Structure 1
Amino acid sequence: MKQFELKRKPAAIVLIAIAALGLGATTIFSTKSGAADEKRNTPKPALTVTTVLPSQTSLPIRLSANGNITAWQEALIGSEANGLRLTEVRANVGDTVRAGQVLAVFALESVQAEVAQGRASMAEAEANALDAAGNAEKARTLQASGALSEQQINQYMTAEKTAKARLEAARATLAVQQVRLKQTQLLAPDNGVISARTATVGAVVGAGTELFRMIRGGRLEWRAEVTSSELGRLSAGTAATVVAANGVALKGRVRMIAPTVDPQTRSALVYVDLPNPVGKLDAAQVPVKAGMFAKGEFDLGSSNALTIPQQSVVIRDGFSYVFALGAGNHVSQVKVQTGRRLGDRVEVISGLKPDAELVASGAGFLNDGDLVNKVAAQNPENTQKTEPNKATATAPTAQPAIK
């Protein structure tokens, strides 16, 4: 009997140990399962972001306008002589010319012959005038003696006056022929750039026929179209920046404002003088040309404005939004009205508080009420120094979380 009891004791001990081990395992498994369930129920951040505060920035006030680049003044250069043949053309489109420079030459033969004829006629008139003057002088000396009648004396006096008149007429005719001789050379009336040419060697042109067209002084201007409601903000001397269609930017100033407004478009022309490169550059190297379309801005001063980084603004459904960080690192979508831009800064006109903490990067991946993980912003200077060749050196630090 005792032997049987001794055999049963080890078996009971083994059963008790197995039961204890099972209970412990069950307790451990339950604890781990509860921790896992709690971890699964905890919300995960949608994004890791950096934040920024709005700041007051001085922004320029500019008025935008469109217009055309045109010549300040165009000179039409035509022939003053009539019926002469062009023998030489010395200027072409794009040439920079000076006042008095010969642009074209006409045939000289016929005009030189007319000049020679005029000189001969004047010499004949001078001889006749001298003879008539001598006869009149003799008649005056014999007038008191009565050797000549009064009628004869008057005839000599009249002949003298007639000879003098013919001499003056011959001189005038010669002067006309000499002027016509000078007109066989077509001269530039002013400094400038040839913008058009119709002169052709061998052509016989009439008086007044246009042969060249020239931009006086090479001066160009921008004729901006400004609405009548904005004209009061501009005045003579206002600085302007003009960007031509080829991307060249020029600085200019308002010379004058048109005295009338177009009744159809309700806009007026504003004339802006552009820098004149003629004389410093060859005409072919002038960066802008007459006839180009250009857009520009008038500088109207500056003012303080509430600005935020451009990457903080999200465009959705045609409206601008930002995401403000609230309690518990939850973000709220806020509709704002934007205005001027300067570099990567955007003016906020309305809808934003000056002390609001905004998501600086990755806002485009967020929705209203999302939970985010806020981290400190990296120093862009240090990042660029350590990794200058990597695009991620200046890229946003926000990354969407993998759920």
Structure 2
Amino acid sequence: MAAPFLVAGVLVALLLPARIHAQAGLRQQTQAQALTPVAVVHAQTGPATRELLLPARVMAFADTPIYARTSGYVKRWTVDIGAPVKAGQLLAEIEAPELDDSLRQAQAAQVRAVADADLARVTAERWQALGSTEAVTRQEIDQKVADAQAKAALVAQAQADVARLGKTASYKQVLAPFDGVVTARNLEVGTLINAGSSAASAGVELFHIASSSRLRIAADVPEADAYAATVGQPATVEAPDQPGRMLAGTISRRAEAIDPVARTLHVEVDVDNREHVFLPGSFAQVRFRLADNQPRLSLPSTALLMRPEGVRVAVVRADNTIALQPVRLGRNSGTQVQVLEGLTPAMAVVLNPPDSLLAGQAVQVVTPQAGA
């Protein structure tokens, strides 16, 4: 009878340690599963240079509407949209019969004024000669001299009228102010044209000319990057609808003032467009490579925790517990954010921390899967 008891005792002695070991392992596994798994990253020092890509507006280097300087009817036009023109080239001719009549009238008045002035001058000289014989009084001599001077002034007035009307008549020929391309034409033969460009004069834009062999690329740099966008800074202009086609240029001018509403600095990049890669008025992107004189630590923007007390990052301490570290942020590129204060490269920062994560909470650091 002692043999069965002995066998049972041996079996218990053999199985009990295995059972205890299994229970301990199960407790450890349960505790590990209760810990929040987290992936961590370390802040990296940013590069000495960085790229800044901004939307931009393409503008012709010179762009102007052409208005008539004299009223009349369109006699003929010589260029249409898309035509290249040279400075001083005839664009259109205006017929202005009333202006021609006024010019001829002024020219006739000038001839008469010259004749009257010549007669007044000769008369004054004769009366001055008679003054030595006392045949005429001094008062009469002074009157003749003053009349000659008045007639000479009338000549100058008539000459000014002729010059003014002659200048106005020269505007019957509408000329190109600079080399460029005609981008609009708003006239036909026989169209009645009023001089001027104001609404009161009812002036109509005859042509629009743009010089597109050189372009201005206008962009608005965020205030945080304004210090690095200096005159002479290289830039590359790209067209989203023309992949691979780029133009190189430099910042030629900047506003030297921050827009108080948009918080941006307006800059313009000049580029050579003799091959007409871009069209004025189109959309483009300008890429700057800016120098960062004081590279800062940066983190993925997904590591940030937005709390009521401010921005925090979750740092895993040596005992695998969480510390919510306050940080001061700098530039944000969308995927990366610059950390100005509150972080060191040695700190292990939780990536994609859950909103429920609390200070002092125990976590389990895991290696993120590739592509996760």
* Range of TM-score over shorter length: 0.5 to 0.7
Larger-gyration structure (1/2): 1
CA contact (8 A) 1:190 1:217 kept: no
- Given the alignment of the two structures, is residue 207 of structure 1 paired with residue 224 of structure 2, yes or no? no
CA contact (8 A) 1:245 1:292 kept: no
- Given the alignment of the two structures, is residue 298 of structure 1 paired with residue 293 of structure 2, yes or no? no
Residue of structure 2 in register with 1:241 after alignment:
236
Corresponding residue SS for 1:168: helix
Structure 1 residue 350, shift from structure 2 partner:
11
Structure 1 residue 351, shift from structure 2 partner:
11
Structure 2 counterpart of 1:133, from 121, 124, 136:
121
- CA displacement, residues 283-312 of structure 1 (integer Å, 9 cap, x when unaligned): xxx221122121231123699xxxxxxxxx
What are the within-5 Å matches in structure 2 for residues 269-348 of structure 1?
269-277=266-274, 286-300=276-290
Equivalenced residue count is: 250
Unmatched 5+ stretches in structure 1: 1-57, 304-317, 320-337, 340-348, 353-367, 371-403
- CA–CA distance in 2 between the matches of 1:269 and 1:135? 71
- CA displacement, residues 121-175 of structure 1 (integer Å, 9 cap, x when unaligned): 2211111111111111110011121111233223322221222122112211211
Residue identity in the other structure for 1:67:
A
Structure 1 counterpart of 2:253, from 242, 256, 264:
256
- Given the alignment of the two structures, is residue 90 of structure 1 paired with residue 82 of structure 2, yes or no? no
- CA–CA distance in 2 between the matches of 1:264 and 1:219? 30
Structure 1 residue 61, shift from structure 2 partner:
3.3
Residue of structure 1 in register with 2:102 after alignment:
114
Corresponding residue SS for 1:287: coil
- CA–CA distance in 1 between the matches of 2:263 and 2:194? 43
Residue of structure 1 in register with 2:223 after alignment:
228
What are the within-5 Å matches in structure 2 for residues 4-403 of structure 1?
61-81=50-70, 83-208=71-196, 209=203, 210-216=205-211, 218-247=213-242, 248-277=245-274, 286-300=276-290
Unmatched 5+ stretches in structure 2: 1-46, 197-202, 294-301, 304-334, 337-344, 349-366
Corresponding residue SS for 1:62: strand
CA contact (8 A) 1:75 1:216 kept: no
| Cα pair distance change 1:149/1:96, threshold 3 Å | same
| Cα pair distance change 1:177/1:124, threshold 3 Å | same
Identity rate, percent: 27
Aligned CA-pair RMSD: 3.2
Structure 1 residue 113, shift from structure 2 partner:
3.0
Residue identity in the other structure for 1:254:
I
Residue of structure 2 in register with 1:45 after alignment:
none
| Cα pair distance change 1:114/1:369, threshold 3 Å | closer
| Cα pair distance change 1:70/1:369, threshold 3 Å | closer
CA contact (8 A) 2:228 2:291 kept: no
Residue identity in the other structure for 2:174:
L
| Cα pair distance change 1:92/1:271, threshold 3 Å | same
- CA–CA distance in 2 between the matches of 1:198 and 1:245? 32
- CA–CA distance in 2 between the matches of 1:369 and 1:180? 80
- CA displacement, residues 191-228 of structure 1 (integer Å, 9 cap, x when unaligned): 22233332333222222133222224643221122211
TM-score of the two chains, using structure 1 as the length reference: 0.55
Corresponding residue SS for 2:258: coil
